[in-house]
Structure 1
Amino acid sequence: MSPPSSDAPASPEAPELAVSGLTVTFGRGATRTVAVDDVSFDIPRGGSFGLVGESGSGKSTVLRAIAGLVPAAAGTIAIAGKTLGPRRDMNFYRTVQMVFQDPYGSLHPRHTVDRTLSEPARLHRAGDTDARIEAVLEQVGLGHGFRFRYPHQLSGGQRQRVAIARALMLEPEILLLDEPTSALDVSVQAEVLNLLADLRAERGLTYLMVSHDLAVVAHMCDRVAVMRQGQVLEVLGVEELRAARPAHAYTRDLITASRGYSQEEGA
């Protein structure tokens, strides 16, 4: 990972998120595995970019490297033109938040919704905690009545709405979405995806979404990178994806194998 950049202000012309030559490895010597291999892409402010591929393709590892949850062996990650160092500081987490795949595992079972949402504000000394909680609950479609419930009193979709609300507490500019609907029923998936689309439009958020579901990324993203064995095979515009016009044979196979995927579903 490159060292932190200077204190020069970020360029307004720079992408909101830029990843260049990102490589992530696990293990050493004979057990060394390259999980992400020289991956590059960028997302403009307010854009939405998808990473798709089969299980083990490295797409979720890219998100974790950006979030600082796993170290990068090489490459750079920049937010609004400012290159990140190997450690993430408090300012990073005010700008970038992550929504995880499993709404059952990402919430503490003994913490009320109120405590779950209060903790980010307390840790970052954000202030106006009550007002922030009420606002984000309203924005994710839950309201005050859910504030003092425990996770076991919520449905899967409601838990994921709480997870999204927690990510919004610090008013970030970028959301990293790691299969945010894959653990939910199909009918609930659509509701959560529509919520995310509305939040992006209302707040001008920038999304990086990981999914194995091509219909989801075709609905949510402007561009999509197809990953295999840690590498990006190609980047498609959403219209190319909907029209099933990829350049790479693997992408064609992925489209064919994607259960329930069609141009109509992707629209």
Structure 2
Amino acid sequence: MIALDIKGLNVWFGYAHDRVDAVKGACLEVKQGESFGLVGESGSGKSTILRAITGLAPHWSGSVRIEGEALSGAKRDRRFFRTVQMVFQDPYASLHPRHTVDQVLSETLHLHGLDNIDKRVTELLADVGLGQRFRFRYPHQLSGGQRQRVAIARALAGEPDILLLDEPTSALDVSVQAEVLNLLTDLRARRGLTYLMVSHDLPVIAHMCDQLAVMRNGEIVEVMSSDTLRTGTPRHEYSQELLRASVALQ
């Protein structure tokens, strides 16, 4: 089954002379249970694809289907958010600074129309490796890795099938990045999740993803397997440049 099917996606900002075409004719398929990566330089359109899917980038054309259901416009209903959730790059910015972890998770569960909220909050915290002692803490009382775990728990609250991951570890210290990536790998295996993951870090994508698309100036220039990336044999010249730059930084 195809969990996410995108054909001819165009996304733009502004109008007339001020129009900027951020994504141009993007096509990709993500199978159910697969982890698919989007890589490229800053401004290449990676995150804009995620934002178009969730309705945060309202001006788009083309075809986007979620588990066979076509999306249109920018409005997303409760059923969509029970299927698709997004984890943002900066966990501190995505959490309300005056809400405890308990409030964040309880309100999310309530919005999804779920019951047994107290039990579900406990289970969500356990799922992301946080104990009960974190339940009534505020975001500023948590480390970056702990905040991202809360953000992941919030995304899981509605029991979605698909997670959109927008640079989920780039704002974290190197020492905790691997812990969060391993958590995401474990959650995908246990819950049968499908991931669409944006990252500028090729080793992260090689570790996390089965397939990946390379983006440049709003266009997908190559789709390849992670094995192709790991063996250093991409076809497109730009993909080869990204790989060389990544190796040089290590």
Q: Which of the residues 222, 231, 242 maps onto 1:254?
A: 242
| 1:136-175 aligned within 5 A | 136-175=124-163
Cα root mean square deviation, aligned: 1.1
Q: Structure 2 matches for 1:86-235, cutoff 5 A?
A: 86=73, 87-235=75-223
1:16 aligns with 2:3: yes
- Which of 16, 19, 23 is matched with 1:32 structurally? 19
**Cα drift, residue 79 of structure 1:** 1.0
Deviations 1:64-105 (A, max 9, x none): 001111124311111111111222111000010000000111
Find the aligned partners of 1:88 and 1:255 in 2 and give their Cα distance: 37
Q: 1:55: how far off?
A: 0.3
Name the TM-score, length of structure 2 as normaliser: 0.97
Cα deviation per residue 1:138-177 (whole Å; 9 max; x = unaligned)? 0100011110001111000000000000001110000000
C-alpha distance in 2, partners of 1:184/1:153?
Answer: 16
Match of 1:62 in 2: 49
TM-score (norm 1): 0.91
SS for the counterpart of 2:227 is helix
Which of the numbers 222, 232, 245 marks the counterpart of 1:244? 232
Give the deviation of 1:27 after TM superposition. 1.0
C-alpha offsets along residues 189-225 of structure 1, whole Å, 9 cap, x if unaligned? 0000000000000000000000000000000000010
State the secondary structure of the residue aligned to 2:147: helix
Residue identity in the other structure for 1:49: F
Distance 1:234 1:24 in 2: 19
Distance, in Å, in 1 between the alignment partners of 2:247 and 2:100 is: 37
Q: Which runs of 5+ in 2 are unaligned?
A: none
Amino acid at match of 1:15: I
Q: Which structure is higher in helix share?
A: 2
Which runs of 5 or more residues in structure 1 are unaligned? Answer: 1-13, 263-267
- Alpha-carbon separation, structure 1, partners of 2:61 and 2:97: 37
Aligned partner of 1:51 in structure 2 is 38
For the 8 Å contact 1:51–1:225, the answer to whether it is kept is: yes
Aligned residues: 249
Q: 1:22 touches 1:72 (CA, 8 Å); kept in 2?
A: no
Tell me if structure 2 keeps the 8 A contact 1:99–1:176: yes
Distance in 1 between residues matched to 2:206 and 2:199, nearest whole Å? 10
Cα distance, 1:261 vs. partner? Answer: 6.8
Identity among equivalent positions (%) equals 62
